Amino acid sequence: MRELPTGTGAAEARPSDASHRPGAHVRERDILLATKLRVPRSRPDILVRPRLLDRVEEAAARELLLVSAPAGFGKSTLLAEWARATNRPVGWVSLDSDDNDQVRLWRYLLAAVEQVHPGLQERVLPLLDTPDQPTPEAVVTAIVNELTASPSEFAVVLDDYHVIESPPLQTSIAFLLERLPPGMHVVIAGGSDPPLPLGRMRGRGQLAEVRAEDLRFTREEAVALLREIWGLELPEQSVAVLEERTEGWVTGLQLAALSLRAGSDPADLIRGFSGGHRYVLDYLTGEVLERQPADVRRFLLDTSILERLSGPLCDAVTGCSDGQQMLEGLERANLFLVALDEQRRWYRYHRLFADLLRVRLQRQEGGAERVAELHRSAAAWCVDRGLIDDAVRHAMAAGEARWAARIVEHRVDEAQGLVHGYSVAIGWGAGILAAAALLTTIMINAGRPPRRGDAARSTGEGTPRLRRHRTAIAADSQRHATGGWVRICASASV
Ligand SMILES: Nc1ncnc2c1ncn2[C@@H]1O[C@H](COP(=O)(O)OP(=O)(O)OP(=O)(O)O)[C@@H](O)[C@H]1O
Ligand SMILES: [Mg+2]
């Protein structure tokens, strides 16, 4: 096992020399953030679906287009193809669970609109930087006023919107939808219907919808995809059964194609599965994995703990040195790996596939220890690159809450307000962990385990180094109080 920083002295959790290169951290973080604002890359093996592109083009003329269907139905692919094809300027945000924060979400939204309305951020961003956060209503009003002054047609896609769970955020997005400036169209894509005033908008003719029934691959599309795009010589009858069993669910078709390409017998494969998506996915993932060479299988399982992958990070986790080649090979093989930037530095697995890989990794003999070890290695790499939120997340996943606390403590200053306003810097999902970890440190330093309400009370005690940040932790913890950080603190108590 890798050696971990263990004590509480200042020498511990010290970044490697490489990480002290000026700007190195900022660059890595910036690259990662930029990937969220980019229309996902196209692939050469995508079947263009004109009926759906026309449908989206027409639907996007309404105030809100909702694209709602279960995971892996082709929502993002369709919208990305449309964004490239349409004449309308399109801004894009790929959301993730860290974005459950007003400031962070509105920053992304602004950045997306900025892509089509240059100059907007400059005028509105200062509003978000005050010590007393402006109300979301004030931010929306400022955006609407700015855009009303220079109206033009454009759309903003919020992909993976289902990760937004915070009720105040839904309220502020609803507030925006009620007051959309002329020319602005919003496209929301996700796995479930968002708690927004959809009924009202539908009634007013402001809402268009694209759903699973629309996204399902028809028989003709399945034939074209399997035969022409993926080059599988399958009898028409087999394609028909595949389409029927997967109910036109493109992820099922893709997995079946991967398995067939790797040598499965079509009749056997088709006989082997039916039932719900989860079952089909599990079955087909097993088939696909079994047919990979051992080193690829190992790589897929080990790296499944990563939310985003780069060659060097994969090397740190697997202990091998072929991470970049592996990633490029998996992308070429269409193995559910998506490149996030043009330079092919960062990738991510398709969520469904990653979930299944993680379950399999955990199920293996010694799985739990292996998972912790992989997270530890990932955390150490992230610490060195200044990816503090990822480092804390991995350290917590490895069960190393005290280490997470020290990572935060030693990086508090550098992470420019990781605690105060960390919601801006890293998102409050990870921020709560960070605050919890830091709070734990305070409590450990104070010689007793943390208890509920400690964040609010901690304003009067602790080391001088932490005093500067305590009020902010208390305020943030109160503001986002979900009990989550209390639980984490409790589990980290000594
Ligand atoms: N038209 C298409 N041609 C070929 N492959 C496709 C097509 N549409 C989707 N796929 C493939 O199917 C898989 C799922 O597609 P996509 O990621 O677009 O689904 P999604 O509905 O956005 O999923 P999630 O809900 O998980 O975000 C991907 O691997 C994608 O490459
Ligand atoms: Mg998607």
Residue nearest atom 5 in ligand 1 by C-alpha distance: 46
Query: Rounded to an integer, what is the distance from CA 484 to the centroid of its chain?
Result: 20
Instruction: Please tell me which residue, 426 or 135, carries the higher pLDDT value.
Output: 135
List, for residues 204-214, the tens digit of each pLDDT value: 999 999 999 99
**If you count them, how many residues does the chain have?**
494
List, for residues 143-171, the tens digit of each pLDDT value: 898 888 878 899 999 999 999 988 888 99
| Predicted TM-score of the model (pTM) | 0.76
Nearest of 305, 323, 311, 310 to residue 395 by alpha carbon: 305
Residue nearest atom 23 in ligand 1 by C-alpha distance: 72
Do the beta carbons of residue 180 and residue 151 sit within 8 Å? no
Q: 50-215: which CATH topology?
A: Rossmann fold (3.40.50)
- For every residue of 27-60, DSSP letters joined together read HHHHHHHHHHTSPPPP-TTPPP-HHHHHHHHHHT
| Per-range mean pLDDT, top range of 104-113, 115-124, 367-376, 479-488 | 367-376
Please, which pLDDT band fits residue 25 given cuts at 50, 70 and 90? low
Please report, for the chain, the start and end positions of each structural domain, with discontinuous segments joined by +.
50-215, 219-291, 387-494
Compute the distance from residue 95 Cα to the ligand 1 centre, in Å.
16
Task: Name the closest ligand to CA 158.
Answer: 2
| Per-range mean pLDDT, top range of 173-182, 269-278, 455-464, 471-480 | 173-182
Residues bordering ligand 2, an ion, CB closer than 5 Å: 75-76
Task: Name the closest ligand to CA 75.
Answer: 1
Provide mean pLDDT across the span 418-423.
36
Please, which pLDDT band fits residue 464 given cuts at 50, 70 and 90? very low
Determine the pLDDT at residue 425. 32
Can you name the residues that pair with 100 across neighbouring β-strands?
Answer: none
Among 211, 227, 250, the mutation site with the greatest number of ligand 1 atoms within 8 A of its Cβ is: 250
Do the beta carbons of residue 392 and residue 433 sit within 8 Å? yes
Residue nearest atom 8 in ligand 1 by C-alpha distance: 74
Can you name the residues that pair with 66 across neighbouring β-strands?
Answer: 188, 209
Compute the distance from residue 391 Cα to the ligand 1 centre, in Å.
29
Compute the distance from residue 160 Cα to the ligand 2 centre, in Å.
6
Compute the distance from residue 348 Cα to the ligand 1 centre, in Å.
13
Task: Name the closest ligand to CA 351.
Answer: 1
Compute the distance from residue 11 Cα to the ligand 2 centre, in Å.
43
Give the chain's mean pLDDT: 78
Q: Which two tokens stand for residue 67?
A: 């694209």
List, for residues 309-352, the tens digit of each pLDDT value: 999 999 999 999 999 999 999 988 878 888 888 888 999 998 87
Is a pLDDT exceeding 70 seen at residue 178?
yes
Compute the distance from residue 301 Cα to the ligand 1 centre, in Å.
21
Pocket of ligand 1 (CB under 6 A): 46-47, 49, 69, 71-77, 160, 191, 225, 250-251, 254, 336, 350-352
Among 45, 51, 76, 246, the mutation site with the greatest number of ligand 1 atoms within 8 A of its Cβ is: 76
List, for residues 426-459, the tens digit of each pLDDT value: 333 344 444 554 554 444 444 444 444 444 333 3
